[in-house]
Amino acid sequence: MKQLDLTLLHAPSVYDFRKESILYGPVSDLVPSTPVFEMYPIGFTTIAEYLERNGFRCRIVNLAVRMLEDKHYDVEKTIANLDSAIFGIDLHWLPHAHGSIEISKIVKRIHPDRPVLFGGISSTYYHAELIQYPSVDFVMRGDSTELPMLNLAQYIRSGGNPHPSADSVEAKELERIPNLVWKDNAGTSHINPITYSPDSLDGILLDYSGVVKSVVRYRDLASYIPFRAWTRYPITAALTVRGCSYNCVTCGGGCGVFRNIHNRQKPAFRNPEDLANDIRRIGSFSKGPVMVLGDIRQPGEEYADRFLKAISGYKKPLYFELFSAWPREFFQKLAKAIPEFVIEISMESHDEKVRRAFGRPYSNEEIENSIDYAIEAGCQRLDLFFMVGIKEQTYESVMESVEYSRKLLQKYSKDGVHHVVPFISPMAPFLDPGSRAFEDPEKHGFKLFAKTLEEHRQRLLEPSWKYVLNYETKWMNRDQIVAATYEAGRRMNAMKAEYGVITTEKAAATEARIDQAVQLIAEIDDLMKIKDEVVRKEKILELKHRVHASNESTVCDKRELETPMKGLKISLFGAAGMVISDWFVEFKRALSQGK
């Protein structure tokens, strides 16, 4: 096979999680991934597609999914069989701090002369530390790196030295690549400024068509699967924005963080017609729901109206995030355009004071009005999310949020139909680097246990999520955060069974998992008192099988978040049609350009 220009590798959170005994806790109960966080960032697809479109060969290998699917999957053999000019590894979400660096070491050992590049939000934040690792050659900073990645691929393909001497012509070339962090031949790091931060998302494809084409080209669906359960439940994301207008206190995706870390002065919104087109193209090969990331009303009423006009008549389920209260008229317009929609609301707490401290701008009354309007318009379901461990929140306050959920269940359940489904989970494992709370913990009532990348990498190997947590608050210490999470999960689970949202069998299974997890937390706490490190590790390893059995869907069954689907989930016919029609368009373009 011809050499690849770029191979994008997605690591599991901890390498090798299959051998470790770590009680991850309910860190991924409310996301499609398992606690290994096997989902790769959407930027993988946009970068790979952009480079392919410009004549470079790229592929994605989701090592995390492959390792989850096959306990004998040999990562080293896979990497040895890859012939790539550059190996790219994402460190987007900080929980990959361990796995990503371990994978980079393996790549460096097997392919010592091939540069290893890191990218993503956490890589950008920790670029200065990351470039010091011997296994890291480049870090690409910023939230939009398609063009700088193309520049780097061109440099490497033209024979450019990844580590030129500082005063060479090649060094001047590397200096011209925006956002790049690199090392010269003396090992000195050079941090190019972030000058590439485009105001729009035009020119990139966010519809996974590049992935579909690569699956056809490399005949390797297994390595491209975004997360383990995807073939059973192919939920896909459509991105409205890079950046955000809000600045929630613990979020690494707020406008303040994007300004300080990514040099993004304002959010870059996807053109609303392009967004609708992304969704329709996803719908041509997937029967699963599409999660529209970012409130469509965030850029304003006109944007939302243009989007609804463009998506009108779309028949598959769409999930929408709501960052502020929506008026009745808007829900009516939404329902007219799209018959099947689900609304996701992050309430964080029932207590408006706590919610405001988090950064959410809406009152309970406004949210309940929005729920009324949504149901009145025909909304399929509203998922309400509460969080444990946030600013100004006590143990008692968490329990009151569960009681508030009861009130909503009572109000919004009728004749066996439950319009509102509440969920609760901890802010775990990490407080986001770059967020206001991370940068100034004392001011916001937080205490941090880890600050550097290396400290986070080490924490990920701790035997339970209580010890992995990188924070506690003035209002709840780590023990209380853990206790509140399990107790709230237990009460929420029982309540859902009481109201018939879930079956009693399902509730009993969740209850048993919570019991098991609480028991394991206590056992691990006891083992942590053993002074002899070798003995302690051995004893913790003995818990491995029980720990692994408790690591998924702890405080709720994540399938509660799913929309029921029947029949074939992926349409190969639709995927092939999209590939053929794109190739035809490319062919026509090439002909017209006389190529």
Q: Return the range that interacts with ligand SF4 (CB under 6 A); candidates 243-251, 481-489, 500-508, 512-520.
A: 243-251
Does residue 251 bind ligand SF4 (CB under 6 A)?
Answer: yes
* Residue 248: CB minimum distance to ligand SF4, A: 3
**Site map (CB under 6 A) of ligand SF4, residues 317-336, x = contact:** ------x-------------
* Residue 86: CB minimum distance to ligand SF4, A: 30
Q: How big is the chain, counted in residues?
A: 595
Does residue 243 bind ligand SF4 (CB under 6 A)?
Answer: no
Instruction: Give the integer Cα–Cα distance in Å for 588 and 595.
Output: 10
SS (H, E, C) 213-249: HHHHHHCCHHHHCCCHHHHCCCCEEEECEECCCCCCC
* Residue 253: CB minimum distance to ligand SF4, A: 4
Contact criterion met (CB below 8 Å) for 359 and 247: yes
Binding-site member from 267, 359, 422, 429 for ligand SF4 (CB under 6 A): 359
Instruction: Using alpha carbons, list the distances in angstroms from residue 578 to 195, 226, 236, 261, 590.
Output: 35, 19, 17, 37, 18
Binding-site member from 247, 284, 380, 571 for ligand SF4 (CB under 6 A): 247
Instruction: Give the integer Cα–Cα distance in Å for 547 and 21.
Output: 6
Does residue 254 bind ligand SF4 (CB under 6 A)?
Answer: yes
Q: Which residue has the tokens 């701090």?
A: 97
Nearer to ligand SF4, 244 or 268 (CB): 244
Binding-site member from 68, 244, 375, 518 for ligand SF4 (CB under 6 A): 244
SS3 293: strand
Binding-site member from 248, 409, 431, 561 for ligand SF4 (CB under 6 A): 248
Instruction: Give the integer Cα–Cα distance in Å for 369 and 373.
Output: 6
The residue among 371, 235, 369, 226 whose CA lies nearest residue 292 is 235
Does residue 385 bind ligand SF4 (CB under 6 A)?
Answer: no
Contact criterion met (CB below 8 Å) for 373 and 326: yes
Nearer to ligand SF4, 73 or 385 (CB): 385
Does residue 253 bind ligand SF4 (CB under 6 A)?
Answer: yes
For CA atoms 389, 393, 396, 400, the dihedral sign is negative
> For residues 322-335, b (16+ Cβ closer than 10 Å) or e, as one string?
bbebbeeebbebbb
* Residue 371: CB minimum distance to ligand SF4, A: 19
Instruction: Give the interface size with ligand SF4 as a residue count (CB under 6 A).
Output: 9
> Which residues from 194-213 bind ligand SF4, rule CB under 6 A?
none
* Residue 325: CB minimum distance to ligand SF4, A: 14
* Residue 359: CB minimum distance to ligand SF4, A: 6
> Which residues from 429-458 bind ligand SF4, rule CB under 6 A?
none
Instruction: Give the integer Cα–Cα distance in Å for 357 and 372.
Output: 25
Residues lying near ligand SF4 in the complex (CB under 6 A) are found at 244, 246-248, 251, 253-254, 323, 359
